[in-house]
């Protein structure tokens, strides 16, 4: 892996190690909410948190931030665990859940009440919003703000006991309704939600809010550096306010960094969920999505994703990253590791008229032109072969160096062939070509020194199997689909998926696995789709083209 790991957060931790803050210990965490699948943005956070722990010999916890039963599901927990492991990180023996702290969180809330730092409020949600004020106007204090501690304790306990309806009571921190930071204007820290939780069942009908849960979970786990995205910068004073008032084992330092944004796609679980729910994509693992499950199915390697995260670095400046950069990092990785094979995705039949009927020949083909250690295989030549429709033109311009009537080309690893005749069906469509081969050119060179400009990939009838091939293009046709808010669906690219039903691939691919990406020569990198392939018809997804197609 590349190891570009100097950034401002590393510098901060370096400094803390020198001054002995946190006793020279580093503890980080990755805290996803299990309300969807992880995406590439999460990969940035995962690489950062696990990466810092690894560099400083510390620990990184995997913690589910599962305090909102309305949106969270076990299937997302399972998917997230799988994805973090796939990316290559190890969280140790324990998976943490914020819901495991419900009891302690409740006790901490009681502590706040006892110290006069929290109160039960009976304003409605709408009233609270009105009272909150705006950026330019201070808020107004709730009429319930000055209840006695005893009254607050009684009401909070009755909230917990289920005596009140949703929306009628909430526990709020008592901070400052005139603060310029709206997060400090008596934020709600507990609300009533009469809904079972996937892990705690019916035990609770009040649930803690994110800002209250997160800092305490960090503290209880002895996290030292709580790394989060920039939108939480304005929440940091609240994070510190709460921990300053509670008897917790550790007061972690929150540090914010810029989210990863990629052009031509979206990275918000909520918006991805919209695509899934409306069947605009197949599911969370649709190979066009930036979800880790989607790009895994597409053929991305965990190493390429880690390298990409290292390449883009960590900073405080928001930016959109070009999809072309991600793909380049991926190509660099696959170029090293992928076996070269031949597949024809839009076949045109070619009959070699001077090749004897019922005779096949095995020819040597290298698996990687620069890496002999990756070995060889044999490809079968026969009288009937297939080339790419695109590689033939009936009336080619001069600069077309592929096949045309009377022209000669090289077939990779095989022979020179010359086109003698174009055979058409009744409708005038080309049905096949009749060619001759030159036996002296076996292996790809003419003893008389005769040159050809084009080398084509091909498969033979006997040496190939049918396959379905899927080509992908950008999922959205605009660079920033979120620019117009919720209208991102209108920006979906209608041509993001092209399915080719009649492809043929060399027989060695009957043994293909989803884990091993291969390069179809001249066409790009492809991987077997484990979900849709059948024993009779493998399905190959194009992972990425050979060259950058994103540049405008």
Identify which of 267, 361, 331, 348 has the alpha carbon closest to the alpha carbon of residue 40: 267
Residues contributing to the annotated binding site for ATP: 33-35, 39-45, 229, 267-269
- β-strands 459-460, 376-381 pairing: unpaired
* Residue 84 found at the interface with ligand ATP (CB under 6 A): no
Q: Give least dist CB 116 to ligand ATP, A.
A: 32
By CB under 6 A, the residues from 230 to 289 that bind ligand ATP are 259-260, 267-270
Which of 32, 58, 208, 463: binder of ligand ATP (CB under 6 A)?
A: 32
* Residue 313 found at the interface with ligand ATP (CB under 6 A): no
* Residue 481 found at the interface with ligand ATP (CB under 6 A): no
Identify which of 421, 65, 62 has the alpha carbon closest to the alpha carbon of residue 232: 65
* Residue 471 found at the interface with ligand ATP (CB under 6 A): no
Main-chain dihedrals φ then ψ at residue 520, nearest 5 degrees: -80, 115
* Residue 328 found at the interface with ligand ATP (CB under 6 A): no
* Residue 457 found at the interface with ligand ATP (CB under 6 A): no
- What is the DSSP-derived secondary structure letter of residue 143? T
Q: Give least dist CB 45 to Mg ion, A.
A: 10
- Select 45 or 263, whichever has its Cβ closest to ligand ATP: 45
Q: Binding partner of residue 141 among Mg ion, ligand ATP, none, CB under 5 to 8 Å per kind?
A: none
Which neighbouring-strand residues pair with 470? 499, 541
- Select 206 or 260, whichever has its Cβ closest to ligand ATP: 260
- Residue 482 and residue 275: Cα distance in Å, rounded? 13
* Residue 380 found at the interface with ligand ATP (CB under 6 A): no
By CB under 5 A, the residues from 18 to 57 that bind Mg ion are 33
Q: Binding partner of residue 127 among Mg ion, ligand ATP, none, CB under 5 to 8 Å per kind?
A: none
Q: Would you state the structure tokens that stand for residue 356, as one six-digit string?
A: 């004897």
Hey, which residues are catalytic here? 33, 259, 269
Q: Indicate the residue whose CB is closest to ligand ATP.
A: 41
- Residue 506 and residue 394: Cα distance in Å, rounded? 26
Q: Look at residue 542 and give its three-state secondary structure.
A: strand
Which neighbouring-strand residues pair with 226? 254
Q: Give least dist CB 65 to Mg ion, A.
A: 7
Q: Would you state the structure tokens that stand for residue 127, as one six-digit string?
A: 């009233």
By CB under 6 A, the residues from 178 to 207 that bind ligand ATP are none
**By rule CB under 6 A, what count of residues binds ligand ATP?**
16
Contact flags string 210-229 toward ligand ATP, x per CB under 6 A? ------------------xx
- Whether the CA torsion 212, 213, 214, 220 is positive or negative: it is positive
* Residue 523 found at the interface with ligand ATP (CB under 6 A): no
Between the CA of residue 232 and those of 183, 228, 243, 338, 361, what are the distances in Å?
A: 10, 7, 16, 41, 66
Q: Would you state the structure tokens that stand for residue 480, as one six-digit string?
A: 């920033």
Q: Give least dist CB 229 to ligand ATP, A.
A: 4
Q: Look at residue 84 and give its three-state secondary structure.
A: helix
Q: Give least dist CB 270 to ligand ATP, A.
A: 6
- Residue 364 and residue 405: Cα distance in Å, rounded? 28
Residues contributing to the annotated binding site for L-glutamine: 65, 210
Identify which of 172, 187, 271, 270 has the alpha carbon closest to the alpha carbon of residue 234: 187
Q: What value, to the nearest 5°, has the Cα angle with vertex 84 and ends 327 and 60? A: 120
Q: Binding partner of residue 388 among ligand ATP, Mg ion, none, CB under 5 to 8 Å per kind?
A: none
Q: Indicate the residue whose CB is closest to Mg ion.
A: 33
Which of 21, 25, 33, 497: binder of ligand ATP (CB under 6 A)?
A: 33
- Residue 414 and residue 417: Cα distance in Å, rounded? 9
Residue located via tokens 């969180």: 105
Helix (H) / strand (E) element for 125: namely helix 125-132
- Select 33 or 438, whichever has its Cβ closest to Mg ion: 33
Q: Look at residue 432 and give its three-state secondary structure.
A: strand
Q: Binding partner of residue 44 among Mg ion, ligand ATP, none, CB under 5 to 8 Å per kind?
A: ligand ATP
Which of 9, 22, 44, 527: binder of ligand ATP (CB under 6 A)?
A: 44
Identify which of 15, 35, 47 has the alpha carbon closest to the alpha carbon of residue 302: 47
Q: Give least dist CB 263 to Mg ion, A.
A: 21
Residues contributing to the annotated binding site: 33-35, 39-45, 65, 210, 229, 267-269
Q: Give least dist CB 212 to ligand ATP, A.
A: 15
Q: Would you state the structure tokens that stand for residue 95, as one six-digit string?
A: 């998976």
- Whether the CA torsion 157, 160, 164, 169 is positive or negative: it is positive
Residues that bind Mg ion (CB under 5 A): 33
Residues that bind ligand ATP (CB under 6 A): 31-33, 41-42, 44-45, 65, 228-229, 259-260, 267-270
């Amino acid at each position: 892996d590349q190891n570009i790991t100097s950034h401002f957060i590393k510098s901060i931790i370096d400094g803390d190690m020198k001054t002995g803050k946190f006793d020279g210990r580093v503890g980080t965490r990755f805290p996803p909410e299990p309300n969807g699948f992880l995406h590439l943005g999460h990969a940035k956070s995962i690489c950062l948190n696990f990466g810092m722990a690894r560099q400083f010999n510390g620990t990184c916890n995997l913690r589910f931030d599962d305090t909102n039963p309305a949106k969270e599901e076990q299937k997302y927990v399972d998917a997230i665990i799988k994805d973090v492991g796939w990316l290559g990180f190890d969280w140790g023996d324990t998976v943490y859940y914020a819901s495991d702290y419900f009891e302690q969180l409740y006790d901490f809330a009681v502590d706040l009440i006892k110290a006069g730092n929290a109160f039960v409020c009976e304003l409605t949600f709408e009233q609270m919003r009105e009272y909150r004020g705006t950026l330019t106007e201070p808020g107004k204090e709730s009429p319930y703000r000055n209840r006695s501690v005893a009254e607050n304790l009684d009401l909070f306990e009755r909230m917990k006991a289920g005596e009140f309806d949703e929306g009628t009571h909430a526990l709020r921190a008592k901070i400052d309704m005139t603060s310029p930071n709206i997060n400090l204007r008596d934020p709600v820290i507990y609300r009533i939600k009469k809904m079972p939780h996937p892990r705690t069942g019916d035990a609770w009908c009040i649930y803690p809010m994110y800002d209250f849960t997160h800092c305490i979970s960090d503290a209880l786990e002895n996290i030292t550096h709580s790394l989060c995205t920039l939108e939480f910068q304005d929440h940091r004073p609240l994070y510190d306010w709460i921990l300053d008032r509670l008897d917790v084992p550790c007061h972690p330092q929150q540090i914010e960094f810029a989210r990863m944004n990629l052009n031509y796609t979206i990275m918000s679980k909520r918006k991805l969920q919209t695509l899934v729910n409306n069947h605009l994509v197949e599911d969370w693992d649709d190979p066009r999505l930036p979800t880790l499950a989607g790009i895994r199915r597409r053929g991305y390697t965990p190493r390429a994703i880690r390298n990409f995260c290292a390449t883009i670095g960590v900073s405080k400046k928001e930016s959109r990253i070009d999809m072309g950069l991600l793909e380049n990092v991926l190509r660099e990785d696959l170029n090293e590791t992928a076996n070269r094979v031949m597949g024809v995705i839009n076949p045109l039949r070619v009959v070699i008229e001077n090749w004897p009927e019922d005779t096949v020949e095995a020819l040597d083909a290298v698996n990687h032109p620069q890496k002999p250690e990756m070995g060889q295989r044999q490809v079968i030549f026969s009288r009937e072969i297939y080339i790419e429709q695109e590689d033939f033109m009936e009336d080619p311009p001069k600069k077309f160096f592929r096949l045309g009537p009377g022209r000669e080309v090289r077939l990779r690893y095989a022979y020179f062939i010359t086109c003698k005749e174009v055979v058409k069906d009744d409708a005038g469509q080309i049905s096949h070509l009749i060619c001759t081969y030159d036996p002296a050119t076996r292996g790809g060179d003419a003893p008389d020194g005769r040159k050809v400009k084009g080398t084509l990939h091909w498969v033979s009838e006997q040496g190939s199997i049918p396959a379905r091939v899927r080509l992908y293009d950008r999922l959205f046709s605009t660079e920033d689909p979120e620019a117009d808010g919720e209208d991102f669906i209108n920006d979906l690219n209608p041509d993001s998926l092209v399915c080719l039903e009649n492809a043929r691939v060399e027989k060695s691919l009957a043994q293909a696995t989803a884990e091993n990406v291969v390069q179809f020569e001249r066409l790009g990198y492809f991987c077997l789709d484990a979900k849709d392939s059948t024993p009779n018809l493998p399905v190959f997804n194009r992972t990425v083209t050979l060259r950058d197609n994103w540049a405008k």
